[in-house]
Amino acid sequence: MIITMAMIVMGVDDTMPLKYSEPPVNNEAQLGLIVANLFREAGWKVLELPPQPDGAPDFIVSKQGKKLVVEMKRAAEGRKDRVIPLLSQAVLEAVHHSRSLAGHPIPVAIVGANRIPDSVANEAIQFARQRVPEAAVGLLDFEGLRSFAGHGLELLSSPRSFDDRIRPFKVSARTPQLFSDLNQWMLKILLAPRIPDGYLSAPRRHYQGASQLAEAADVSVMSAFRFVEEFSKEGFLEVRASSLRVVRVRELMNRWLGANQRRVLEIPMRWVLHRGKKALSNALRSVQSPATIPVDPLVSPQPRFCLGLFKAAEALGIGFVHGAKPYLYIERLSADFLRDLGLSENVKEEQVDVYVRIPRSRESVFRGAVRKGGVPVSDVLQVWIDVGHHPARGKEQADLIWRRILSPAFELSEQ
């Protein structure tokens, strides 16, 4: 193997440039978990956004027709000179997101720390409310303080309890998730030679080791090395002299399907002007799509997108479910892009024309997408994963894809 454990000890991981590296678990993730649970316990629906290079909001929260856009900041210390500047920054960012999103949800700014004195929390909230009264604000710490103000969020407030402290989560080194975003993308690349052309956009070659896989996937060598190490330990990857080979494919696919049962940010949309059954495909063809090319938002503000689920299956020629609402994957929320498509977020459930999804595994989703009729479409592996647990006859659609495309390809390659 080209890369060795000795190289890791010598510091390669710190010096090599990382492409699309995934963020480690940290205190901001802990804060996000507490905030999300706080809203959920109060009956709010919390839609978590994946990390975005353009600084997308942390959460979109809704309940009974009321919608909030939440921006969080983590303070290293609970001092006044640390908390107030961070709260001010969070307020500005939340207001910015509110103005750019359809429907202009209420901006909410939250700052957390290990411990924030009551006096600091009160002064910070008063400071923000006097200057930006249209925003709601919140202060919380890991000892149980919950202090909110504005737009009825005072109901989330609670005093610190020294008898039942909420201590910081212990952050320890953990094994990276087997089906992380980049791991899914590299898995698609290794499976690509078995998938017929037209169903998956990926290089179709054989790779002798992590460095060759990294080059093909456009990821760091360390990301590829971790992928090879993790899948080898699980018994799903054989590192042969000639090439890396995925084995025990059926079991692997079941694991992959199970790992993708998490909630995906899904936003109901309607057409501003009704344009018929082909409205979505026509709208997508009318805009120029970067498709599978990773986007630098500083250069091109347009997000990547592709058809998903049942409409994607139909575009691939393996559709089974008819009449289901179409799904559109978009890399990140963009009011300008949605407006260009002619979609509006101001919609009641019975008026939904399109469901927009913001994927957690955006690199795997968008890099694997193929073009059909001038429209980016989710690849066959992504469609199989996405429809597998869908209540609208998703299992039947997944079974058809397995019988017609995946099973013959994988079983033939195993012989």
Per-residue pLDDT tens over the stretch 143-166: 788 999 999 899 888 876 544 333
Domain boundary among 156, 189, 222: 156
Q: Are residues 370 and 335 in the same domain?
A: yes
255 within some domain? yes
Q: Of 352, 353, 397, which Cα lies nearest the Cα of 378?
A: 397
294 within some domain? yes
Please name the residue that has the structure tokens 């996000």.
Answer: 32
Q: Are residues 249 and 357 in the same domain?
A: no
Q: What mean pLDDT do residues 385-397 have?
A: 86
pLDDT at site 164:
37
pLDDT at site 40:
84
18 within some domain? no
Q: Are residues 290 and 398 in the same domain?
A: yes
Q: Are residues 346 and 379 in the same domain?
A: yes
Which residues partner with 376 through β-bridges?
A: 371
pLDDT tens-place string over residues 201-254:
999 998 988 899 999 999 999 999 999 999 999 999 998 767 899 999 989 998
Number of domains in the chain: 3
Structure-token pair, residue 3:
């890369």
171 within some domain? no
Q: What is the pTM of this model?
A: 0.59
- Kindly state the percentage of the chain with pLDDT values over 70: 80
- Decide: helix, strand or coil at residue 61: strand
Give the DSSP H or E segment for 241: none
Q: Are residues 121 and 197 in the same domain?
A: no
Q: What mean pLDDT do residues 313-324 have?
A: 87
- What is the band of 283 on the pLDDT scale with cuts at 50, 70, 90? confident
Lowest mean pLDDT among 1-15, 175-189, 297-311, 330-344: 1-15
Q: What mean pLDDT do residues 96-116 have?
A: 90
Q: Are residues 113 and 234 in the same domain?
A: no
Residue 318 corresponds to which amino acid? I
CA-based radius of gyration for the chain: 23
Quickly count: other Cβ atoms within 10 Å of residue 392's Cβ.
Answer: 13
Q: Are residues 391 and 281 in the same domain?
A: yes
Supply the mean pLDDT for the chain.
80
11 within some domain? no
Q: Are residues 142 and 203 in the same domain?
A: no
Structure-token pair, residue 14:
């710190």
Lowest mean pLDDT among 22-26, 62-66, 109-113: 22-26
Domain boundary among 198, 224, 259: 259
Q: Of 118, 93, 120, which Cα lies nearest the Cα of 108?
A: 93
Question: Domain range holding 222?
Answer: 176-259
pLDDT at site 246:
93
166 within some domain? no
Q: Are residues 289 and 211 in the same domain?
A: no
Q: Are residues 345 and 379 in the same domain?
A: yes
Q: Are residues 281 and 408 in the same domain?
A: yes
- Longest Cα separation, the chain: 71
Judge whether 300 and 273 are in contact, CB under 8 Å.
Answer: no
Instruction: Answer whether residue 295 shows pLDDT above 80.
Output: no
2 within some domain? no
d(CA 105, CA 115): 29
- What is the band of 120 on the pLDDT scale with cuts at 50, 70, 90? very high
What count of residues does the chain have? 415
Pairwise pLDDT comparison (261 vs 337), residue with the higher score = 337
pLDDT tens-place string over residues 33-46:
788 888 888 888 88
**CATH code of residue 225:** 1.10.10.10
**CATH code of residue 39:** 3.40.1350
334 within some domain? yes
d(CA 82, CA 18): 31
Q: Are residues 324 and 198 in the same domain?
A: no
